[in-house]
Amino acid sequence: MSDTRSFRIERNDESIAELILTGPGHGNAVGPDFWREFPEAVAELQADRDLRCLIVRGNGDNFCYGLDLQGMVGEVGAMLNDGAAGRAEIVRQAGRMVEGFDALAAGRLPVVAAVDGWCIGAGIELIAACDIRVASSRAQFALREVKVGMVPDLGGIARLPHLVGEGWTRELALTGDPIDAETACRIGLVNRVLDDGDALLTHARELAGRIAANPPLVVGGIRQVMNARVQGGVADGNREAATLNGMLMQSEDFAEAMRAFMEKRAPEFKGR
């Protein structure tokens, strides 16, 4: 696999790989490099017949701060200033961005997400595409797109109801408020909470090992059957969200959200 800037792949076991988010955005925030590199990496991992399970985790103290807004400014800004053509390009860009998450969810490899520290926005949408999620006691989760004037369009609000139910999905998406690890476990977002990052990684590797010990064709078949229940709804939801963002990202409120983010202040939304 070629060198990547937004993550690295480690192979400490013949049948298990670890994809470790590295940024370069603060807190492993995902930007242009990630959206370009991730789909190709997922395809290569899925094609490796020696692999039987994948662990996704963050480098350092956090899992992922979400979308690297500063890193995306150049690409998004050009679209916002290009009228109808720009709106259409936003929709196409969203489709390209979600390719990797969809491939992760639909492929043959079972995926364990190990969450330490913050997991925000696109980070939650990434772990929602995984099979099993485990967390450290210091993990925190927030679906913050609403705070920056966007509809989550990477599969999160389509997949989360199958994990935590409609009520919690709506609360997370509509408020943008964070929840702690114990709450995440109680509502079903994560399966288990471990004491610290070391215990988390040990548990994730042991769990991946138990999965990898099972017959891979059967494991893939189980994923295929379970994914069939949700794939159509996820695809429909992503198209709807991307289309809406094509319009909403032209709004005054979105511009205000970006200014407030850059100026590190609370935004004042006007509904325009």
CATH class for the region spanning 7-263: alpha beta
**Confidence class for position 153, pLDDT limits 50, 70, 90:** confident
In the block, tokens 């100026």 appear at 263
**Rounded to 5 degrees, what angle do the CA atoms 68, 69, 70 make?**
95
Tell me the pTM. Answer: 0.90
Domain boundaries, the chain: 7-263
pLDDT confidence of residue 81: 62
pLDDT confidence of residue 156: 87
pLDDT confidence of residue 250: 74
Lowest mean pLDDT across 47-56, 106-115, 238-247, 259-268: 238-247
E strand spans, the chain: 7-13, 16-21, 53-58, 111-115, 118-120, 132-136, 140-142, 179-180, 192-194
* Mean of the per-residue pLDDT values of the chain: 89
- pLDDT, tens only, 200-240: 999 999 999 999 999 999 999 999 999 888 777 777 777 77
- pLDDT, tens only, 27-81: 999 999 999 999 999 999 999 999 999 999 999 999 999 998 888 776 666 666 6
User: Distance (Å, rounded) from C-alpha 3 to C-alpha 9?
Assistant: 10
Residue 96 or 15, more confident: 15
**Confidence class for position 1, pLDDT limits 50, 70, 90:** low
pLDDT confidence of residue 75: 67
User: Distance (Å, rounded) from C-alpha 1 to C-alpha 184?
Assistant: 34
Q: Cβ neighbours of residue 80 under 8 Å, at least 6 residues apart?
A: 86, 249, 250
Query: With 80 as the cut, is the pLDDT of residue 95 above it?
Result: no
At residue 57, the 3 state secondary structure works out as: strand
